[in-house]
Chain A
């Protein structure tokens, strides 16, 4: 279980350190001055103290992040480059110390631990990285053994712990090989075995598949899913790939500019993201854009002689219902399908369609109401002039 409450992180760039120290000194001087002066001094109250610093040398990497990942669940955080994903995940095991806020992992407040308690706590949090970070000087077995050596475990005990992990990750025949002799996927398997060696309750994955090809990505994600199911491990993973979210996450958060802007169950997110950024991620992923020629003719407002172009997303029962033909019959509109696609998002089936609704304005409006009444997610992309 992972709970972040109101976590913020600011970086102060180094070249301005002297200036910052100066202004901090000035800030410290102000309250004492105030204390010395009477309340009726008539001086204007200095509001400058908690004014947010719009300083170019202060980078707000995380802002008031609240996140809860229940035990045994897989939570994805997706965002563009520089959104603060790595900072967020590194705040969980305090590789990065939050500027403010609370980080609770398995009931333990991480930010208040002494450094030796923090090391103990980190034994119960595994982490894997985009570039694997295996020690080149150690073979596969010894890499997986490293966290156990750090805990002071005996050699014989280490063996007993490491071998099953190498079996689990499919590396039993590679124990004596060095990382340089392994493929990317194999390296990440070693990293996963290493992260699991200390029997952690929580696994953090920082872009764990971003350096791998799609097929290898698939097999690594499958391994993570197995681990989640077999060991009941809580997984927090960050990624910029919707594919990763789609194939293993239960819930997903969207991060932008250091803030979590949207959180949803994965099925809901893929059906109807609530934010613009969410929709952009989804559209990019589905590659379901209206044809270019149509986009050029799209107008934002309905005119006298136009009809709407809509994007329909439907899941569950709606997928197997002949809605389009019913729509034509019951609402008396014609439906011209421009693009359509069926995706399976874990156990759910998701249908997507871009279509023109042809008919009088009154009828097409009714048709949209009808679709929404049948639990379809309808987004009007625009209106096109009738050709005829």
Chain B
């Protein structure tokens, strides 16, 4: 294999890591608060706002139900507004992040749901404010579940990023399609798939390790 080819593969790998990394971080920063909101605004919860909860729930479900490939195309004007272009890795980050936010939110909500209600009650009996309950009870107690959710999200982002690559997003997906499929170079195709597999394994192992470390149960 030529050194130009190796450079291409290396560049594509870095692009994928960049897309997954940035959209992963952004979707965590926005999705975790949304997940907390979804949970604490439920009826009978510490910040019960049933109407707001319904609105958030519907918006989240819409975000979850639009197929990624359609979402990517549908928000092109929005993507352009934010990053100034609709192709390339930066452009891919926008739909990736938007697709991942509701995903993260639901997983976080699920993790919070696992916390025994007695813990919140105990904190309330000590005079904790809703903000203190979120910071000192809900988030720390759900840490393992939240990390599990973020791991699932990152793994999903790896495969979505390959999809984004297929429509000009750059990265391993792009490389695989362009060289492996269009120019029929099975070696490149195999290498990109192999790198994606290793990447997913790596993220999963890292996630599992972090969960184990945070788990005191």
**B126 is contacted by which of A131, A137, A147 (Cβ under 8 Å)?**
A147
B128 near A150: Cβ-Cβ < 8 Å = yes
A191 smallest CB distance to B (angstroms): 8
State the main secondary structure of chain B at its contact with A.
helix
Q: Write 20 A-B pairs (CB below 8 A) sorted by A numbering.
A: A95-B125, A119-B127, A125-B125, A126-B125, A127-B122, A127-B125, A133-B122, A134-B122, A135-B119, A135-B136, A135-B137, A135-B140, A137-B143, A137-B214, A137-B216, A150-B126, A150-B136, A179-B216, A180-B216, A198-B127
A234 smallest CB distance to B (angstroms): 16
> Is A65's beta carbon under 8 Å from chain B?
no
- Give Cα distance in the complex from A357 to B124, angstroms: 58
A136 near B123: Cβ-Cβ < 8 Å = no
> Is A122's beta carbon under 8 Å from chain B?
yes
A119 near B140: Cβ-Cβ < 8 Å = no
Q: 5 closest pairs, A vs B, by CB?
A: A122-B127, A119-B127, A133-B122, A137-B140, A127-B125
Interface residues in B124-162 by Cβ distance below 8 A to A read 124-129, 132, 136-137, 140-141, 143
Range of interface residues on B (Cβ < 8 Å): 20 to 34
B216 near A121: Cβ-Cβ < 8 Å = no
> Is B67's beta carbon under 8 Å from chain A?
no
> Is A264's beta carbon under 8 Å from chain B?
no
> Is B217's beta carbon under 8 Å from chain A?
yes
- Give Cα distance in the complex from A4 to B125, angstroms: 18
A129 near B140: Cβ-Cβ < 8 Å = no
A146 near B123: Cβ-Cβ < 8 Å = yes
A95 near B121: Cβ-Cβ < 8 Å = yes
A120 smallest CB distance to B (angstroms): 7
Range of interface residues on A (Cβ < 8 Å): 20 to 34
**A180 is contacted by which of B123, B129, B136, B217 (Cβ under 8 Å)?**
B217
Q: Which residue numbers of B lie inside 8 Å of A, CB to CB?
A: 116, 118-119, 121-129, 132, 136-137, 140-141, 143, 214, 216-217
Report B-chain residues with C-beta under 8 Å of the C-beta of A126: 125
A121 smallest CB distance to B (angstroms): 7
Report B-chain residues with C-beta under 8 Å of the C-beta of A97: none
Report A-chain residues with C-beta under 8 Å of the C-beta of B119: 133, 135
A136 near B122: Cβ-Cβ < 8 Å = no
Report B-chain residues with C-beta under 8 Å of the C-beta of A150: 123, 126-128, 132, 136
A93 smallest CB distance to B (angstroms): 6
B124 near A137: Cβ-Cβ < 8 Å = no
- Smallest Cβ-Cβ distance to B143: which chain A residue: A137
B132 smallest CB distance to A (angstroms): 6
Of B121, B127, B137, B214, chain A has the most CB atoms within 10 Å of the CB of: B127
Report B-chain residues with C-beta under 8 Å of the C-beta of A189: none
CB within 8 Å: A-B pair count: 68
Report A-chain residues with C-beta under 8 Å of the C-beta of B141: 135-137
- Give Cα distance in the complex from A178 to B116, angstroms: 17
- Give Cα distance in the complex from A19 to B141, angstroms: 38
B73 smallest CB distance to A (angstroms): 42
B120 smallest CB distance to A (angstroms): 9
Of B124, B126, B127, B136, chain A has the most CB atoms within 10 Å of the CB of: B126
Instruction: Given A127-B126, A194-B126, output 5 extra A-B contacts at Cβ < 8 Å.
Output: A119-B128, A127-B125, A131-B118, A146-B136, A198-B126
- Given A131-B116, A133-B118, the answer on whether A146 and B126 have CB atoms closer than 8 Å is yes
> Is A330's beta carbon under 8 Å from chain B?
no
A138 near B140: Cβ-Cβ < 8 Å = yes
Interface residues in A113-171 by Cβ distance below 8 A to B read 116, 118-123, 125-127, 129, 131, 133-138, 146-147, 149-151
- Smallest Cβ-Cβ distance to B128: which chain A residue: A150
Report A-chain residues with C-beta under 8 Å of the C-beta of B216: 136-137, 178-180
A120 near B140: Cβ-Cβ < 8 Å = no
A297 smallest CB distance to B (angstroms): 50
A204 smallest CB distance to B (angstroms): 8
B136 near A136: Cβ-Cβ < 8 Å = no
B98 smallest CB distance to A (angstroms): 31
A206 smallest CB distance to B (angstroms): 10
A95 near B124: Cβ-Cβ < 8 Å = yes
Report A-chain residues with C-beta under 8 Å of the C-beta of B121: 95, 129, 133
B127 near A149: Cβ-Cβ < 8 Å = no
- Smallest Cβ-Cβ distance to A200: which chain B residue: B126
A325 smallest CB distance to B (angstroms): 56
- Smallest Cβ-Cβ distance to B43: which chain A residue: A14
Of B123, B125, B141, chain A has the most CB atoms within 10 Å of the CB of: B125
Report B-chain residues with C-beta under 8 Å of the C-beta of A146: 123, 126, 136
Report A-chain residues with C-beta under 8 Å of the C-beta of B137: 135
- Smallest Cβ-Cβ distance to A137: which chain B residue: B140
B21 smallest CB distance to A (angstroms): 27
- Given A95-B121, A136-B217, the answer on whether A123 and B116 have CB atoms closer than 8 Å is no
- Smallest Cβ-Cβ distance to A198: which chain B residue: B126
A288 smallest CB distance to B (angstroms): 37
Contact with B along A309-321 (1 / 0, CB 8 A): 0000000000000
A233 smallest CB distance to B (angstroms): 16
- Given A136-B217, A137-B141, the answer on whether A93 and B136 have CB atoms closer than 8 Å is no
B127 near A121: Cβ-Cβ < 8 Å = yes
Report B-chain residues with C-beta under 8 Å of the C-beta of A122: 124-127
- Give Cα distance in the complex from A129 to B137, angstroms: 17
